């Protein structure tokens, strides 16, 4: 194994070149990496282009080489929604999930520890990328997006290990941007308004000084960075597990329409863990009607 690239020297030269120069996410290249995709991607970003995002902590899950001893004292993950006991408020698909048993819970804890381990080389890769940008004098003129591609369940609502569901654990991801010309790094701030990955492309168009094509979804984040008070008031969530769902997410509510199963409404201020679906509560009938109409407009 090459200590710098993490590539297996037993791979043929052409295969190694492919692995270092082309799509590092395909199986052919993975075979070269022996589970070390993240260091390779970090190297790739340094040498070739700063646009590659590390694969970890995505599947395949494993103890991270060099970090095997990390997080063995991690406290168990037990939010109020963990292994949700009363699911009588939930749609039929979730009511059909049994409570997780001890064996499943242990598997969830193992995967959680592995995912946290796997993110450590990502930290290292980011540090290397930033160091290179500093050396080249380009850091303060570089737009940095940092995000995950999806959230993930660790046993919340009885969902052992999955992503494609409507609840907050799957929908929310870490998301940070860094662009000193518009947002001084000495004064970092948390933006609570609703943004999504669809906003990245329009942002890049605007930063590059290009018109945003009409067919591109999302909004440029530049107005938010400049402190504008005008912004969207809702986002659309869609998923195609069984059942498929469409949902509208505002800053206070999530309203979900599940194909052929009951709808859901969660009041995030009072019920942030989404334990009590109030879609059938007569007190929320007007709100359900309003959110359903707005959902239909997306």
Task: Pick the closer one to Ca ion by CB: 275 or 287.
Answer: 275
Of 222 and 278, which has the nearer Cβ to Ca ion? 278
Helix (H) or strand (E) segment spanning residue 38: helix 37-47
**CA–CA dist 73, 202 (Å, integer):** 42
| Least CB distance to Ca ion at residue 277 (A) | 7
Tokens read off for 65: 């080489």
Q: Pick between residue 199 and residue 264 the one whose CB is nearest to Ca ion.
A: 264
Residue whose CB is less far from Ca ion, 89 or 169:
89
Q: Cα separation of 244 and 259, whole Å?
A: 6
CB of 242 to Ca ion, least distance (A): 21
- Our CB check for Ca ion shows the closer of 51 and 86 to be 86
Which residues here bind Ca ion, judged by CB under 5 A?
86, 89, 275
For the CB of residue 274, give the shortest distance to Ca ion in the complex, in Å: 8
Q: Would you say 89 or 264 has its CB closer to Ca ion? A: 89
Nearer Cβ to Ca ion (8/267): 267
CB of 167 to Ca ion, least distance (A): 11
> What value does the CA radius of gyration of the chain take, rounded to a whole number of Å?
22
At residue 178, the 3 state secondary structure works out as strand
CA angle 263/268/271 to nearest 5° reads 90
Burial degree of 88 (CB within 10 A; 0-12, 13-18, 19+): exposed
* DSSP H or E stretch at residue 116: helix 102-135
Min separation Cβ 88 and Ca ion, Å: 7
Q: Do residues 20 and 40 lie in contact, with contact meaning Cβ atoms separated by under 8 Å?
A: yes
Smallest distance from the beta carbon of 50 to Ca ion, in angstroms?
A: 45
The helix or strand, by DSSP H or E, that contains position 246, with its residue range, turns out to be strand 245-249
Residue 42 in tokens:
């970090």
Helix axes 13-21, 37-47, angle to 10 degrees: 70
Q: List, in order, residues 6 or more apart from 106 with CB less than 8 Å away.
A: none
The C-alpha atoms of residue 86 and residue 97 are separated, in whole angstroms, by 12
CB of 199 to Ca ion, least distance (A): 32
Pick between residue 112 and residue 158 the one whose CB is nearest to Ca ion: 158
Q: How far is the CB of 33 from Ca ion (least distance, A)?
A: 42
């Amino acid at each position: 194994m090459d200590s710098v690239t993490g590539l297996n020297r037993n791979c043929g030269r052409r295969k190694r070149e492919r692995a270092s120069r082309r799509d590092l996410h395909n199986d052919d290249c993975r075979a070269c990496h022996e589970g070390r995709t993240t260091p390779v991607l970090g190297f790739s970003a340094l040498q070739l282009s700063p646009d590659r995002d590390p694969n970890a902590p995505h599947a395949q899950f494993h103890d991270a080489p060099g970090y095997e001893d990390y997080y063995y004292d991690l406290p168990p993950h037990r939010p109020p929604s963990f292994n949700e006991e009363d699911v009588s408020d939930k749609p039929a698909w979730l009511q059909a999930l049994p409570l997780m048993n001890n064996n499943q819970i242990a598997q969830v804890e193992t995967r959680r520890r592995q995912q946290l381990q796997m993110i450590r080389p990502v930290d290292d890769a980011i540090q290397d990328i930033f160091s290179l940008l500093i050396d080249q004098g380009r850091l303060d003129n570089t737009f940095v997006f940092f995000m995950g591609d999806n959230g993930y369940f660790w046993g919340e609502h009885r969902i052992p290990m999955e992503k494609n569901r409507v609840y907050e654990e799957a929908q929310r991801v870490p998301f940070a941007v860094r662009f000193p010309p518009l947002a001084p790094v000495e004064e970092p701030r948390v933006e609570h308004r609703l943004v999504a990955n669809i906003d990245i492309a329009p942002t890049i168009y605007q930063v590059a000084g290009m018109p945003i094509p009409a067919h591109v979804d999302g909004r440029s984040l530049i107005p938010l960075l400049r402190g504008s008070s005008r912004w969207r008031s809702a986002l659309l969530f869609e998923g195609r597990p069984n059942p498929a769902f469409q949902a509208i997410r505002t800053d206070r509510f999530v309203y979900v329409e599940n194909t052929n199963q009951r709808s859901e409404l969660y009041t995030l201020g009072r019920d942030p863990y989404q334990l009590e679906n109030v879609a059938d509560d007569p007190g929320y009938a007007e709100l359900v009607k309003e959110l359903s109409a707005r959902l239909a407009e997306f």
